[in-house]
Amino acid sequence: MGAIRITKRLDSETLHLPELRPLIGHEVEIVVTETDGKSNGGPQGKPSAPILAAADRAAASIPQEVRAKLPRDGAVQHDHYLYGTPKRER
């Protein structure tokens, strides 16, 4: 089973989560974070990292020997690498 996201405002001391009924009998991991209710923030209202920063972190995690094998003209010739079309002349 994939992930399930439940957003609830805790208004009382009794917590009722009927969304979890299908998971009865399964091993689950429950992670609780506090948010400020804004959809564009991370846990506890902290702003999420900009997408370019996330891309930079992902690129930095690629080992150097793998990075060396990547084509240098990938952005210009993306149709060639994705779909096998002839390379464009510059």
pLDDT of residue 31: 75
Please say if the pLDDT value at position 67 is more than 60: yes
Q: What is the 3-state secondary structure (H, E, C) of the chain?
A: CCCCCCCCCCCCCCCCCHHHHHHCCCCCCCCCCCCCCCCCECHHHCECCCHHHHHHHHHHCCCHHHHCCCCCCCCCCHHHHHHCCCCCCC
Q: Domain limits of the chain?
A: 18-83
pLDDT of residue 16: 73
Higher pLDDT among residues 19 and 78, named by residue: 78
pLDDT in tens, 25-61: 777 777 777 666 555 545 555 556 688 888 888 889 9
pLDDT of residue 47: 59
